[in-house]
Amino acid sequence: AGDLQSPTMGISSTQVGDYKSPAQQALREILSAPQPLASWSRAKWVPLAKELGKPAFEQAALNRKLTTFERIRAVEVQVELFDGVAPELARKLAGSGEPELIARVAWALARSAEPGAAAILADLTHRDDPRIARAAWEALISVAADVRRLHSDSALRVPHSAVNQSLLTSAATPD
C-alpha cells in the first residue's frame, strides 16, 4: 500500500486542500469531476489519477481540510484504479468521526482482496451510527468466506440470535 507519509508528485496532506500546484489542481479536478462514472468524465480524470498515483489519493482521504465528499471520492478512486484501500488506511479513516466516509470505507473494504478486511468490517458492525453498521454488514456479506471464521471467533456475534442466523445464512449462500 505504500508509506502514507510519502506523498507522490509533491503533494503533502497539508497542501492538498490549497490546490496551488498543477498536481494539486489535477487532484481537485479528479475529486470534483462531474458524473465521474460517465465515459466522457472518465476520459478526463482517469489518466490524471493514474499519473498522480495511489499515494495522492491516500493522502487526500486522510486530509481533514478536504470536504467529506472529496475524501469519499478519494476512497472511490483507490477502489476503482488502485486495488482498493489498504487496511492501515481503513483503520485510520474509521477513526475519522465522519459517518459517510466510514461507511464508504466499509464499502471499499468489501471490494479489495486485502487480508484483514473482514476483521475491520466486523469492528465497524458495532458502531452506533446505522449508516456505518449497515455498510459494514453489507460489506461482510461480500466477503462471506471470512465471515464463518469471524463468527466462530465471536468477533461478529450480536445480541440478537436472528441477526446471527441471518449473517450465517448469508455467508453460506453462494453468489
Model confidence, pTM: 0.74
Average pLDDT over residues 78-98: 96
Side chain identity at 112, as an amino acid letter?
S
Average pLDDT over residues 134-156: 72
Give the separation between CA 175 and CA 26, rounded to whole angstroms. Answer: 38
Q: What is the pLDDT of residue 80?
A: 96
Give the separation between CA 161 and CA 145, rounded to whole angstroms. Answer: 21
Average pLDDT over residues 99-115: 92
Q: Which residue from 83, 141, 82 is spatially nearest to 112, judged by alpha carbons?
A: 83
pLDDT above 80: residue 167: no
Give the separation between CA 56 and CA 21, rounded to whole angstroms. Answer: 13
Q: What is the pLDDT of residue 43?
A: 97
pLDDT above 60: residue 151: no
Average pLDDT over residues 109-126: 89
CA distances from 130 to 85, 124, 138, 147 (A): 22, 10, 12, 20
Average pLDDT over residues 57-80: 97
Q: What is the pLDDT of residue 7?
A: 39
What residues contact 13, with CB distance under 8 A and at least 6 apart?
7, 59, 62, 63
Least confident range of 32-41, 54-63, 66-75, 158-167:
158-167
Q: What is the pLDDT of residue 112?
A: 81
Percent of the chain with pLDDT over 70: 71
Under 8 Å between Cβ of 111 and 75: no
Reported residue count of the chain is 175
Residue 70 DSSP class: H
What residues contact 173, with CB distance under 8 A and at least 6 apart?
144
Angle at Cα 87 formed by Cα 126 and Cα 50, nearest 5°?
Answer: 130
